[in-house]
């Protein structure tokens, strides 16, 4: 099992304003699967993704990535693990606007003091159709292209798992389809595990597994034929 989460609990606020975003939630993700987490606004799906990705510490429970407990690590170790084994695609604020496309893509590798595998990076860029734009700055790209760069960046460090938080939330239908297809290609071609949060059931339908969340609990967990 690539990723395991046990009895996750996350509470925001206190006293009268206390809101339980995750209620004793457990989940297991197998390697190489494409998982879609769906649910209504405020259901806790983004919180779950952030907790699984080591971005938000749960109040209770633990998350194991490749048998390593994320929240028992030091902050620096977790960060290093995140930049080596995880990739992220967010809805907004996906890219560093002061960096061009190629710089954005290789940023996690540079931060890790790693050596850039030029051939692999160019392969990804070609795959995502960004060859002509590789030296462009972020403001010169469309929303769809920006998300493609985010996917490329997520793939750059050859992570074990990619977390995508509403990657199509800000895109038109055509671009949304392209982005989801690319995630699917990444899963297949590079044997990546993808966890995607979306509220769009059509988008979710490309996933191998669809998990539905409501009020911080999993109410449905279905494997699809795709």
Partner 1 sequence: MNKVLYQLAFRNVQKYKKHYLLSFVIIFFLSIFFISASIIGDNRYQAEKEYNQKTYGHWYVMFGIDENYKSMLEEHVQAYLPDMEYGQYYEQGIYKDNKIGFIDEVGLDLCHLQIIQGHYPTKDNEIMVSTDLSQELKLHQKVELKVNNNVNEYTVVGIVKNSQKGIFPDIYTHIHHGYPFKTIFDRDLRVNNNIIIDPNDPDGIIPIDELISNEYGYSANQSVGLYQFSVHQTIILVEISVLVIFILMILTSTSLKRRTKEFALLRGVGMTTRQLFLMIIYENIIMIIVSIICGALLSLGISYGASLYLQEQFGCFVYQLNWIKILVYVLFLVAYITCSMIFPGISSAKKSLSGAFEGKRFQYIQIRYRKLHYQKKWRLALREMRVYKGITICLFIVFGLCFIYYIGSIMNPGMQEEKTNRFESFHYLEYEVFESGEKKSIKKLNLPHTIEFHYQYVGSLNIDENGQEFTSPIQWKGKAVGVGTILCIDDTKWIDQSRINGRKPENDNEILLGNNTAMFYTDQQYNEHIVGYLSIGDSIEIHNETYYIVGQIIPNETMIAQDGIQYSSQFLPSEHTLYVSPKIYKMFPQIDDSYEYSTLRTYYTTDKERDECIEKVQSILPWVNIIDSDEGLLSNNVETLVEIEPYMLITPMAISLILCYFLNKNQITNNKQDYQLYKLIGMTNKELIFTQFCKACIMTLSMSLFGMIWIIAFYSYYHTTTIPIIEYLFSCIMILVVTSIIYCLPFYKILKTGVFIERME
Task: Report the interface residues with partner 1, using CB under 8 A.
Answer: 12-13, 16-17, 19, 21, 41-42, 46-47, 50, 53, 55-57, 75-76, 79-80, 82-84, 88, 90, 92-99, 107-108, 110-113, 153, 157
Quick one: CA dihedral 124, 2, 79, 116, positive or negative? negative
Q: Which is nearer to partner 1, 50 or 209 (CB)?
A: 50
CA dihedral 203, 205, 206, 207 (to 10 degrees): 110
Q: Which is nearer to partner 1, 6 or 80 (CB)?
A: 80
* Interatomic CA distance for residues 193 and 159, integer angstroms: 9
* Interatomic CA distance for residues 222 and 226, integer angstroms: 12
Which strands, in side-by-side order, build the sheet including 86-89?
86-89, 161-165, 193-198, 34-39, 209-214, 217-223
- Residue 38 class from Cβ within 10 Å (0-12 exposed, 13-18 middle, 19+ buried)? buried
Q: Which is nearer to partner 1, 79 or 170 (CB)?
A: 79
Q: Which is nearer to partner 1, 40 or 188 (CB)?
A: 40
Contact between 47 and 21 under an 8 Å Cβ cutoff? The reply is yes
Residue 164 CB, nearest approach to partner 1 (Å): 12
Residue 137 CB, nearest approach to partner 1 (Å): 10
Q: Which is nearer to partner 1, 89 or 206 (CB)?
A: 89
Residue 78 CB, nearest approach to partner 1 (Å): 9
Residue 122 CB, nearest approach to partner 1 (Å): 20
Q: Which is nearer to partner 1, 111 or 202 (CB)?
A: 111
Residue 223 CB, nearest approach to partner 1 (Å): 28
* Interatomic CA distance for residues 65 and 84, integer angstroms: 12
Residue 124 CB, nearest approach to partner 1 (Å): 15
| Start-to-end C-alpha separation, the chain | 20
Angle 61-64-66 from CA coordinates, rounded to 5°: 175
* Interatomic CA distance for residues 193 and 161, integer angstroms: 5
């Amino acid at each position: 099992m690539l990723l395991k989460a046990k009895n996750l609990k996350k509470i925001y606020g206190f006293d009268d304003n206390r809101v339980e975003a995750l209620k004793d939630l457990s989940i297991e993700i197998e390697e190489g699967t494409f998982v879609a987490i769906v649910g209504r606004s405020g259901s806790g799906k983004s919180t779950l993704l952030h907790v699984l990705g080591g971005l938000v510490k749960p109040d209770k429970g633990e998350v194991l990535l490749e048998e390593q407990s994320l929240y028992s690590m030091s902050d620096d170790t977790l960060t290093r693990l995140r930049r080596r084994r995880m990739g992220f695609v967010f809805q907004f604020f996906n890219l560093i606007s002061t960096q061009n496309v190629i710089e954005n893509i290789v940023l996690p590798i540079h931060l890790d003091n790693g050596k850039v595998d030029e051939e692999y990076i160019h392969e990804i860029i070609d795959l995502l159709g960004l060859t002509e734009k590789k030296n462009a700055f972020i403001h010169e790209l469309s929303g769809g292209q920006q998300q493609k760069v985010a996917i490329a960046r997520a793939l750059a460090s050859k992570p074990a798992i990619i977390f995508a938080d509403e990657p199509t939330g800000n895109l038109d239908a055509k671009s949304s389809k392209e982005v989801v297809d690319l995630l699917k290609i990444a899963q297949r071609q590079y044997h990546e595990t993808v966890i995607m949060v979306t509220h769009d059931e059509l988008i979710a339908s490309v996933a191998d597994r669809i998990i539905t969340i409501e009020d911080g609990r999993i109410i449905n967990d279905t494997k699809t034929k795709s």
